[in-house]
Amino acid sequence: MISDASQPPQGGSGDYPDTLQTILDSLDALVYVSDLETYELLYLNAYGRQLWGEPQGRKCWQVLQAGQAGPCSFCTNDRLVDDQGHPTGVYVWEFQNTDNQRWYQCRDLALRWTDGRLVRLEVAIDITDRKETEEQLRRAVALAEARANTDELTGLNNRRAFFALGEQATQQALRNGHPLSLIMFDLDHFKQINDSYGHAIGDRVLQNVATKVDSMARDADVLGRIGGEEFAILMYNTDTDESSHLAERLRQAIAASTIEAAGQTLGCTASFGIAAAHGRPISLEHLLSEADHAMYRAKSRGRNRVETAGRPSS
């Protein structure tokens, strides 16, 4: 349409056929034309003039964007022509305007202007509302996913997430021939805390323990609350010496840690079981079962201790 015009329109002047001018000016979309080489803004419809004023021979990056000292780094001009300088067709993209911060879906096209030079025609519609809805949806999905994987009380991975992440880490360790070990622990006589002080205070004890685990484990470890008062730490690339060391430090930290509740200072201890893959093609399930047996050995040998699968008790 525009390339057929006898004169390039000059942003609302009367030298363009009235009806076409009216159509362009009544669009709820930005339409502009700029010189592909010099960036001079040759045409701006009413939508654009209302937002950015008259072009007055200025360049597109001076009028339509903010803070540009030269052609915009995100300019799509080079996508609109091929190596020989021939127009390549419509290029569609989405972009947040640097001046008014609105999001636009832009349809860009190189074409010959009335005087033969190559120009860029852009038709851009405001998609800010759609972008905001998409962003809200993305956040809601991320939140729902996080909630589905997180233990509400402690903020650690829940059992489901622990197994999902743990399975990945186990497979990876087996594939790469890396050591893998697992610490499991269960609070001692926790029922007594609930029975004596109530469930809410029991919850605070669980939160306190979770905070300790979280602060002492490494970022790469997979932590989880896998049962009521049962926790697990899967340690990638770690042998039993290292996991025993962490378990012992954790045991001591939990035993030394207290909370103030009901006018009293409350503490608890935990019993630990450790198992390691030792290069065996072992499943996470199997590893957990070995750690569980070791943990029950710790319970039966007096609690508040660490036992390792396949090693005699010390």
Active-site residue list: 229
Q: CB-wise, 191 or 249, nearer to ligand GTP?
A: 191
Piece of the chain touching ligand GTP by CB under 6 A; list 3-11, 15-23, 127-135, 180-188: 180-188
Piece of the chain touching ligand GTP by CB under 6 A; list 172-180, 194-202, 213-221, 304-312: 194-202
Closest approach of ligand GTP to the CB of residue 236, in Å: 28
Is residue 189 a contact residue for ligand GTP (CB under 6 A)? yes
Is residue 202 a contact residue for ligand GTP (CB under 6 A)? yes
DSSP for the chain, written as a single string: -GGG-SS---SS-TTS-HHHHHHHHH-SSEEEEEETTT-BEEEE-HHHHHHH---TT-BHHHHTSSS-SSS-TT--GGGSB-TTS-B---EEEEEE-TTT--EEEEEEEEEE-TTS-EEEEEEEEE-HHHHHHHHHHHHHHHHHHHHHHB-TTT-SB-HHHHHHHHHHHHHHHHHHT--EEEEEEEETTHHHHHHHH-HHHHHHHHHHHHHHHHHHS-TTSEEEEEETTEEEEEEET--HHHHHHHHHHHHHHHHH-EEEETTEEEE--EEEEEEE-TT----HHHHHHHHHHHHHHHHHTTSS-EEETTS---
Is residue 270 a contact residue for ligand GTP (CB under 6 A)? no
Closest approach of ligand GTP to the CB of residue 260, in Å: 17
Among 53, 70, 89, 228, binds ligand GTP (CB under 6 A): 228
Is residue 199 a contact residue for ligand GTP (CB under 6 A)? yes
Instruction: Specify the amino acid at residue 128.
Output: T
Piece of the chain touching ligand GTP by CB under 6 A; list 53-61, 114-122, 191-199, 210-218: 191-199
Among 191, 245, 301, 311, binds ligand GTP (CB under 6 A): 191
Q: CB-wise, 49 or 299, nearer to ligand GTP?
A: 299
Q: CB-wise, 114 or 304, nearer to ligand GTP?
A: 304
| Footprint (CB under 6 A) of ligand GTP, residues 126-165 | 153
Q: CB-wise, 145 or 203, nearer to ligand GTP?
A: 203
Is residue 206 a contact residue for ligand GTP (CB under 6 A)? yes
Tell me which residue has tokens 């190559």.
118
Q: List the structure tokens of 17.
A: 């056929």
| CA dihedral sign, ordered 138, 140, 145, 150 | positive
Q: Which residue is nearest to ligand GTP (CB)?
A: 228
Is residue 229 a contact residue for ligand GTP (CB under 6 A)? yes
**Count of residues that bind ligand GTP according to CB under 6 A:** 16
Site string for ligand GTP, 281-310 (x = CB under 6 A): ------------------x---x-------
Contact 251, 306 (CB under 8 A): yes
Q: CB-wise, 85 or 302, nearer to ligand GTP?
A: 302
Is residue 203 a contact residue for ligand GTP (CB under 6 A)? yes
Residues interacting with ligand GTP, by CB under 6 A? Answer: 153, 186-191, 194, 199, 202-203, 206, 228-229, 299, 303
